[in-house]
Chain A
Amino acid sequence: EAGVVQSPRYKIIEKKQPVAFWCNPISGHNTLYWYLQNLGQGPELLIRYENEEAVDDSQLPKDRFSAERLKGVDSTLKIQPAELGDSAVYLCASSPLPGHQETQYFGPGTRLLVL
């Protein structure tokens, strides 16, 4: 069974430029998460989707970050414009059922460097 797929794996951009990350969850997983992981820290939740609906985006900085999950499968996370402090690893995870009682399966992440 294929795991969570993310692309690109690495991205280098200049500040103020836009950037987008893509995630394909495990087939059949209805719940999708985006996390931010800073160096030396644990992941922090940005947004959680149940199918197409964003059910928890309380920690997403909405002034520059946006996300979508059209058709309830793949998802895209966008930053516009990027700032130096956005340099981090962006992780996507999925779980099979709604709610909080399921193990989350993580993708390899996209490592972003903003210059």
Chain B
Amino acid sequence: ELKVEQNPLFLSMQEGKNYTIYCNYSTTSDRLYWYRQDPGKSLESLFVLLSNGAVKQEGRLMASLDTKARLSTLHITAAVHDLSATYFCAVDAVYSGAGSYQLTFGKGTKLSVIP
């Protein structure tokens, strides 16, 4: 069974600080997504990482993928309050029950940026 583990699950950080969210997964995959979810809202796609060593950046967020280590990171630079949300990583891999590809999500990291 594919396991996707995010840490930390809760993160409170001050504005202006840097921090990294980690996403570990237990099976071979070279396709990983990061989503953002605001309270009561839908999931918004942030990044799609397609291969080993892929790095994507948008504003204060940067995501990377190391398929050999089965690890993705989401780095936050100089956090601002607007980044407060829950961030999910999702791994695209074959689900053994069906033999087809599925997205398996982590539990999410709830980020609170405080002034």
Contact = CB atoms under 8 A, between A and B. Distances in A.
B19 interface: no
B107 A42 contact: yes
A93 B73 CA distance: 24
A14 interface: no
Interface residues of A, number: 25
A48 B103 CA distance: 11
Nearest to A6: B42
Interface string B29-43: 001010100000111
A58 B90 contact: no
B42 A43 contact: no
B42 A100 contact: no
Contacts of B106: 42
Interface string B76-115: 0000000000001010100101101111111110000000
Interface of A: 3-4, 40-45, 48, 55-56, 58-59, 91, 93, 99-101, 103-109
